[in-house]
Amino acid sequence: MPQSNIQTLSIIQPDDWHLHLRDGDVLQSTASQAAKQFRRAIIMPNLRPPVTTTEAAQQYRKRILDALPGNTNFEPLMTLYLTDNTPPEEIRKAKESGIVHGVKLYPAGATTNSDAGVTSLDRCIPTLEEMQKQGIPLLMHGEVTDPSIDIFDREAVFIDKVLIPLRKKLPDLKIVFEHITTKAAAEYVTEADGYIGATVTPHHLLFNRNSLFVGGIRPHYYCLPILKREENRQALLKAVTHKNSRFFAGTDSAPHAKGAKENACGCAGCYTASHAIELYVQAFEEVGELEKLEWFTSINGPKFYNLPVNRNKITLVKEEWKIPDELPFGHEKVIPLMAGESIHWKLK
């Protein structure tokens, strides 16, 4: 059927395999907006201070559940923030807790709140060995941090310098290459041996780096890894629409207050939790592949994480609506991606 004739879409309820909810007084809005879209989400641990222990993850999980409205069954899937000093014992505790589903690698200095991240993966080998043994996946922010490497090349260099050597050392370690942005990463994940998956954000499927500079500098399109050239966006679209079960939705919705983005040194992150599913639908529709959407949003992720696929369905209708100019964010405001612009699909 030609895509333009499709007016409604019914799919298994999606999960978000990469989400930043933050903490404190913003949790109420970030968590309740995500819960309207997703049944479950992998919650990123880059708080201040970062979530480095199972105990801290349990407390953060409780704060998220307390912030949610009563009528939701949203389930936060917690992660730990890997440091040079995370002991293997912490991995055993994480596994026993049943609430921790991954350990996040932030190369130190790579992005927001990554100062406490890993300076060298060699320091983490015993801990990574324990993760391999326990079957806990390593969720990687896949960029090198060497400032002499061009920002647009940092992901591709990471594959050669970090990812391939690590996977030689620990071939059975489960890995999620988070928020991939390049043809190199899409091809690596498609072809590599062993247990590897990748998340792809809606913004990297919809926009290329030109969007950062349309008539001036556009801070709300600035995220890390940064938007890339069009050929990379096309490679991501190809990867997610090929029914390859290694690719799944992870919004990397990363809210920052308006003033922290519209700033002489603006923070990285696009806020999409309020309309991510609609953005994904728009991306799949653009390439005429709507029938592949459900695999990417609702089936591949749970299979990778050994969790059940959701039972309930959601419905989207083809209906033009305007993304709000701003949304509440504690006492401040957050500007959603594509604020004030029209979008063609609406979640019912």
Residue nearest to Zn ion (CB): 252
Binding residues for Zn ion, how many (CB under 5 A)? 1
252 in active site: yes
Check binding of 285 to Zn ion (CB under 5 A): no
Check binding of 20 to ligand DOR (CB under 6 A): yes
Set 25, 172, 252, 325: catalytic member: 252
H helices of 135-288, where? 154-158, 164-169, 183-191, 202-206, 230-240, 258-261, 276-286
Check binding of 141 to ligand DOR (CB under 6 A): yes
Instruction: Decide whether 30 or 112 has the Cβ nearer to ligand DOR.
Output: 112
Cα angle: 10, vertex 11, 12; to 5 degrees: 140
Instruction: Decide whether 11 or 103 has the Cβ nearer to Zn ion.
Output: 103
Q: How far apart are CB 266 and ligand DOR at their closest, in Å?
A: 11
Binding to ligand DOR, residues 186-225 (CB under 6 A): 223-224
Binding mask 243-282 for ligand DOR (x = CB under 6 A): ---------x-x-------------xx-------------
Separation between Cα atoms, residue 61 and residue 43, nearest integer Å: 9
Residue 63, phi then psi, degrees to nearest 5: -65, -40
Separation between Cα atoms, residue 236 and residue 254, nearest integer Å: 20
Neighbours of 306 (CB within 10 A): 10
Q: 300 by DSSP, 3-state: which? A: helix
Residue 269 binds: one of Zn ion, ligand DOR, none (C-beta under 5 to 8 A by kind): ligand DOR
Check binding of 138 to ligand DOR (CB under 6 A): no
Is cis: bond before 225, omega within 30 of 0?
Answer: yes
* Region from 69-77, 100-108, 188-196, 245-253 binding Zn ion, contact rule CB under 5 A: 245-253
Instruction: Decide whether 254 or 276 has the Cβ nearer to ligand DOR.
Output: 254
Q: How far apart are CB 252 and ligand DOR at their closest, in Å?
A: 6
Residue 111 binds: one of ligand DOR, Zn ion, none (C-beta under 5 to 8 A by kind): ligand DOR
**3-state helix vs strand vs coil in the chain, percent to 5:** 40, 20, 40
Binding to ligand DOR, residues 95-134 (CB under 6 A): 111-112
Do residues 144 and 157 touch, judged by C-beta distance below 8 A?
yes
What is the per-residue DSSP string for 78-132?
EEEE--TT--HHHHHHHHHHS-EEEEEE-BTTSSTT-TTSBS-GGGGHHHHHHHH
Q: 209 by DSSP, 3-state: which? A: helix
Instruction: Decide whether 141 or 174 has the Cβ nearer to ligand DOR.
Output: 141
Q: How far apart are CB 332 and ligand DOR at their closest, in Å?
A: 15
Candidates 15, 143, 252, 278: give the one binding Zn ion (CB under 5 A).
252
Q: How far apart are CB 206 and ligand DOR at their closest, in Å?
A: 15
In the sheet that holds 8-12, the strands lie side by side as: 8-12, 313-322, 342-347
Which residues, other chains included, contact 194 with Cβ-Cβ below 8 Å and sequence gap of 6+?
A: 167, 171, 172
Residues facing residue 78 across a β-bridge: 100
User: Considering only CA atoms, which of 303, 300, 326 is closest in space to residue 244?
Assistant: 300
Check binding of 46 to ligand DOR (CB under 6 A): yes
Q: How far apart are CB 330 and Zn ion at their closest, in Å?
A: 19
**Contact footprint for Zn ion (CB under 5 A):** 252
**Residues acting as catalytic residues:** 252
Tell me which residues touch ligand DOR (CB under 6 A). Answer: 20, 46, 111-112, 141, 223-224, 252, 254, 268-269
